[in-house]
Amino acid sequence: MHTYTERVKAVWQGWYEQDYSELRQEIKVSIAKHIEQLRNKNTNERLYGYSLYTCNGFPHFQAVSNTMEQFEALSDVDELGYYQYCPDEWALWEQYACFERVNDFTEALHRKFESMQAAYEDLDPEGEQAIDYEVERYWQDNVERLFNVSLAALTELKAERSFEFLSQDIEPVVLIWFSDASDWEFSMVKQSVETLNSSRCLAEFCLALES
């Protein structure tokens, strides 16, 4: 008879062995297509910010950008740095259908994870309790995997000079944003800013968003 620990391992084995290389490539392709469409549709605008945008649980991918023209129109607004760096406040939300395939891929990954989570919660613990924080840990690990593969895709695109179109009139920024982020999610947001931008950008971002 298999022990409870062995049965838990068997439930999650497929998830632990999941290959995310195809998802990383799909994210890169989606972003590249989106940037092309974004620039073609906004030829007279000076773009300075680009963000992958999601929310709690990383259920989907979309992107948002902002322009110098939009930012300069807010010159008399208090907390200007917040509006500069917070994608919730940015202007360009059109997706141009670029993220449909990567969102289908992500939805399938979520369904797979949820089926494994359900099987895990249904296990007879044989006197051992499947504690809630273990379920939460698996959920957080799943979100962090999606974040990490997204950050890897953005890092590769940056190395390929895909974001050099961003205006240098102010500090440009590329990031991954969680809407209504928890402290844990916001720590991932900061990690993306640190990885993808200058130290000055990170300092200004933290000053604007953490104050």
Token pair of 108 as six digits: 């399938």
> How far is residue 190's CA from residue 186's CA, in Å, rounded to a whole number?
6
DSSP state for residue 13 in the 8-state scheme: H
Q: pTM (2 decimals)?
A: 0.91
Identify the pLDDT of residue 13: 85
Token pair of 199 as six digits: 């130290």
Identify the pLDDT of residue 127: 46
**Beta strand residue intervals within the chain, DSSP E:** 47-54, 62-67, 173-178
- Rounded to a whole number of angstroms, the CA Rg of the chain reads 20
Token pair of 163 as six digits: 């974001």
The rounded Cα 175 to chain-centroid distance in angstroms is 8
Identify the pLDDT of residue 2: 66
> How far is residue 57's CA from residue 133's CA, in Å, rounded to a whole number?
16
Token pair of 60 as six digits: 């989907």
- Asked whether the beta carbons of 49 and 197 are under 8 A apart, the reply is no
For every one of its 211 residues, what pLDDT tens digit does the chain have, with 9 covering 90 and above? 467 778 878 888 888 888 999 999 999 999 999 999 999 999 999 999 999 999 988 999 999 999 999 999 987 778 899 999 999 999 999 999 999 999 999 999 999 888 888 888 777 655 455 545 577 788 899 899 999 999 999 999 999 999 999 999 999 999 999 999 999 999 999 999 999 999 999 999 999 998 6
